[in-house]
Amino acid sequence: MRDKVTNLIDAITAVHDGQIVALGGNTLHRGPSAAVHELVRQGRRGLEIVKTAGAYDVDLLCGTGVASSVSAGFIGFETGYGLAPSYRRGVESGAVEAREHACYTVIAGLRAAIQGVPFMPVAGMVGSDLLDARGFKTVVDPYGGGQVVAAKAIAPDVAIIHVQEADAQGNARIVGTRFEDVLMAQAARHVIITAERIVDGAEFEATPEVVAIPGFMVATVVEAPHGAWPCSCAGEYSQDDAFLAEYVRASQSPERFAAFVQDRILARDLVPA
């Protein structure tokens, strides 16, 4: 099988301006932060970011002008840090379009794309203001009657997913909760895996049940130790509270944020403290 290992710079060159990019992980856990940093360094523009619940990754992409729209159910830094300042500022200024979802409509949209259908029916949302605010349409249940929401298919151009282990052919192992990562990989046209380490594929041949994302779905694999930092990565490291607190403080004003990005993000030798 073809060796798919490459470096992060080359992997991210496959992401083009204006594309739909799904990011794996959830809030501050196992987000593909190293790849997000590289998107910033390469100056991508006009991306639509897809994620059920984002935090540092989505906020950084909004603050640096990489993202022009976000399709997600929640963007925020959890209890310890509060709202996502750059995302909020972008939405309020009109620089970022908030394509608001319930988390489950993101999931349903990915499933629709996987199955090759234009939408997926979702029960339980009729009566919500989100339908009018977001333009969700309803259809009649042809069997029992009544209205159900039709969540439009979401087919990312690229999915970027960080995992604990992968082999050179792209088979990827996720330790702990998989979140929506498997759905993203199945729905996307191009999948980039970043991994804490590249392992011998013989380990996966012996225990194929540990493979969350099979290599035939994956375009490129990057060995990226601490690739989720400053987010956590189950079994590897916890979130970097000091860095995240510094980031959120800097994000309170565009001037401090720009200085922080220049000093702490644009350097290619960015490493955990």
Question: How far, CA to CA in Å, does 30 sit from each of 73, 180, 229, 253?
Answer: 18, 12, 8, 27
Q: Evaluate whether residue 98 is within a structural domain.
A: yes
pLDDT of 273 higher than 70: no
pLDDT bucket at 267, cuts 50 / 70 / 90? confident
Residues 91 and 26 in one domain: yes
Residues 40 and 130 in one domain: no
Contacts of 251 (CB under 8 A, 6+ apart): 59, 63, 85, 86, 257, 260
Give 100's strand partners: 72
Q: What is the pLDDT of residue 2?
A: 81
Q: What is the pLDDT of residues 106-163, one digit of tens each?
A: 999 999 999 999 999 998 888 888 888 888 999 999 998 899 999 999 999 999 999 9
What is the percent of the chain where pLDDT is above 70? 97
What is the percent of the chain where pLDDT is above 90? 87
Q: What is the pLDDT of residues 65-122, one digit of tens each?
A: 999 999 999 999 987 888 999 999 999 999 999 999 999 999 999 999 999 999 999 9
pLDDT of 272 higher than 80: no
The dihedral over CA atoms of 245, 28, 172, 272, expressed in degrees to the nearest 10, equals: 10
pLDDT bucket at 268, cuts 50 / 70 / 90? low
Residues 252 and 202 in one domain: yes
We report the CATH number of the domain holding residue 258 as 3.40.1080.10
Helices (H) and strands (E) in the chain, counts: 11, 13
Q: What is the pLDDT of residue 203?
A: 84
Q: Evaluate whether residue 240 is within a structural domain.
A: yes
Q: What is the pLDDT of residue 138?
A: 93
Residues 146 and 159 in one domain: no
Residues 81 and 180 in one domain: yes
Q: What is the pLDDT of residue 269?
A: 65
Residues 139 and 171 in one domain: no
Residues 138 and 220 in one domain: no
Q: pTM for this structure? A: 0.95
Residues 144 and 230 in one domain: no
Contacts of 206 (CB under 8 A, 6+ apart): none
Structural domain boundaries enclosing 126: 119-152
Average pLDDT, the chain: 95
Q: Distance (Å, rounded) from C-alpha 221 to C-alpha 168? A: 7
The dihedral over CA atoms of 255, 256, 262, 264, expressed in degrees to the nearest 10, equals: -170
Residues 176 and 246 in one domain: yes
Residues 158 and 125 in one domain: no
Q: What is the pLDDT of residues 37-55, one digit of tens each?
A: 999 999 999 999 999 999 9
Neighbours of 93 (CB within 10 A): 9
Q: Among 23, 22, 15, which residue's Cα sits nearest to residue 43? A: 15
Long-range Cβ contacts of 141-148 (<8 Å, 24+ apart): 148/121, 148/122, 148/123
Q: Evaluate whether residue 112 is within a structural domain.
A: no
Residues 133 and 220 in one domain: no
Find out whether 184 and 24 touch, Cβ atoms under 8 Å: yes
Task: Please give the tally of structural domains in the chain.
Answer: 2
Q: What is the pLDDT of residue 271?
A: 57
